[in-house]
Amino acid sequence: MKKPLPPPDVSRVLSRLSASEIIHAMQAQEGSLVRGRYLHWDELRHRAPPEGLDHETWWAVVRMARQGQLQSLPLIDAQGAPVQFCLPEPVLRHLSPIDKGAAGEILFPEQVVSGSDRDRYIVNSLIEEAITSSQLEGACTTRVVAEEMLREGRAPAGRDELMIFNNFRAMEWVRQHKQQPLTRELLLDLHRIVTEGTLDVPEDAGRFRDRDDVRVVDHRDQTVLHQPPPASDLPERLERLCAFANGSEEDEPFVPPVTRAILLHFMIGYDHPFVDGNGRTARALFYWSMARQGYWLMEYLSISHVIKRAPSRYARAFLYCETDRNDATYFILHQLRVIREAIESLHAYLAEKSMERKDTERLLRRSRGLRGRLNHRQLALLSHALKHPGYDYLIEGHQRSHDVSYATARADLLKLAEAGLLEKTKRGRAWIFIVPEDLAQRIEEAA
């Protein structure tokens, strides 16, 4: 991708203006920016400036207005200058619904927040995040194949599937360690899980880099996009990062919890403390921070699924910060939009699944022999089966999807086979349950 142009020097621009001209420029630019936008110079220079201003003067007064809002964090860049952020109106507009929707009470269908269906939605989310986070880093496999691997519990075949399998384990790790403070050892453990068996040098899994030839490059033309800080600085930098991660709302400056999680994500990307796997580790650490701070809904969301739709915007959000005096507000805004889009996607998914469930239940209610005899897991499977004739179900896959025991999963599938709704056969030593092509007709005939 093309690197964004760094902004012009504000001091140089202002030095050529008189005091009255600066005041006039500030008055002219008020309200000129599109509401809800926090534009970088690389975007602003392509927009029409307010009447009477050129682009550089417009940028200078915009940057002056922001400077009064920016706050310095205990996190620093490679030269020791503080990373900054602010909470302009666009940030606040995103934070409010996320706080309400991801940490507070939210009206979901009852079966989603309790019982076996809750576990199924969580497993679906873990699988989605594991797949798309790996695909962002170059894993080449189809979603269908990757999902079957995770649901059936089969061993990964090749590096790409292993990346996805490791990411799934990392997301489970997040759930298990969300109450623990971040330490150097905990971060290394997370990286080891993410990268185990996928690196050119196996010993690099679970250890910080000790050399300075690690760079972020555009693989299309080998343009260097980012040069991380020296490896010798990592111990001090990561000590700062852990202290920040474990901070509270009483710290100065005040950092909203969601913003804290996003800044952890940003700093792992900036520091690049590992030879490889930095992006996957950063996103997993974001989930850890959100879970630790009580944002329970994140268990159901996949941010990588949203990022994957526009990966260049993700990369550009990092670069905007680095080229504009460490202003991390650009990355914060990008990630807030990602989280909100992920929440909206979840609502759409739940609405679709709720409608599918109702359709399935309506169809099954017309069958006296099946009425009231199927549990939530079986109804969910039939909802899926009606859309996927010929699909194979394994006991292990049903077990992992619903986080139940092997015996419970086996009983679910056997009961559906006995009812004639699945066809039971063997493949090697394993029982396979196949969706008949005429499943809907079979249910109709049972009515």
289, with CB counted inside 10 A (0-12, 13-18, 19+), is buried
DSSP string for 319-335: HHHHHTTTBTHHHHHHH
The two three-digit tokens of residue 176, written as one number: 């298990």
Name the domain count of the chain.
Answer: 3
Same domain, 317 and 394: no
CB neighbours of residue 395 within 10 Å: 22
In a domain, 361, yes or no: no
Residue type, 170: A
pLDDT under 50 in the chain at which residues?
Answer: 34, 105-116
Secondary structure of residue 430 in the 3-state scheme: strand
Same domain, 337 and 373: no
Same domain, 215 and 195: yes
In a domain, 355, yes or no: no
Same domain, 15 and 101: no
437: domain CATH number is: 1.10.10.10
Nearest-angstrom CA–CA distance, 278 and 436: 44
Nearest-angstrom CA–CA distance, 174 and 176: 5
Same domain, 326 and 425: no
**Domain termination residue (choose one: 32, 48, 68):** 68
248, with CB counted inside 10 A (0-12, 13-18, 19+), is exposed
In a domain, 103, yes or no: yes
Residue type, 30: E
**Domain termination residue (choose one: 68, 86, 106):** 68
In a domain, 352, yes or no: no
Same domain, 89 and 54: no
**Which residue, chain included where needed, has tokens 């623990």?**
180
In a domain, 354, yes or no: no
Nearest-angstrom CA–CA distance, 408 and 411: 5
Nearest-angstrom CA–CA distance, 379 and 416: 10
In a domain, 93, yes or no: yes
Same domain, 114 and 28: no
Same domain, 308 and 336: yes
- Write b or e for each residue in 409-425: b if 16 or more Cβ atoms lie within 10 A of its Cβ, otherwise e: bbebbeebbebebbeee
Which pLDDT score is estimated for 31?
Answer: 56
In a domain, 2, yes or no: no
In a domain, 424, yes or no: yes
CB neighbours of residue 108 within 10 Å: 17
Pick from 427, 436, 431: nearest CA to 411: 431
**Domain termination residue (choose one: 29, 48, 68):** 68
Residue type, 343: I
Residue 270 · residue 282 · CB < 8 Å:
no
Same domain, 113 and 214: yes
CB neighbours of residue 435 within 10 Å: 22
Same domain, 62 and 112: no
Same domain, 165 and 61: no
Same domain, 308 and 442: no
Residue 192 · residue 167 · CB < 8 Å:
no
- Parent domain of 21: 10-68
108: domain CATH number is: 1.10.3290.10
β-pairing verdict for 430-434 and 392-394? antiparallel
Nearest-angstrom CA–CA distance, 354 and 121: 12
Nearest-angstrom CA–CA distance, 226 and 352: 41
Residue 437 DSSP class: T
Residue 293 DSSP class: T
Which pLDDT score is estimated for 106?
Answer: 45
Which pLDDT score is estimated for 371?
Answer: 60
